[in-house]
Structure 1
Amino acid sequence: MMQQREVTDSHNTTWTCVQAYAGVETAATAEAVERSTAKEDGVTVVCTPSGGAQTVRLELTSNWQESLSDEELEQAIAAAR
Structure 2
Amino acid sequence: MAEYETIFDRWAKERNITVKEMKAIISARIEKGWNDPDPVKRAQWRKISYAGEIPTPEEWLRYAVNKLEHKGRGDLLFWYPNF
Determine which structure has more spread, i.e. the larger CA radius of gyration: 2
Tell whether the structures are fold-level matches, with TM greater than 0.5. no
Q: Which has the higher contact order (CA 8 A, sep 6+)?
A: 1
Q: Provide TM-score, normalisation by structure 1.
A: 0.30
What is the TM-score of this pair, normalised by structure 2?
0.30
Structure 1 or 2: more strand by fraction: 1
More helix by share: 2
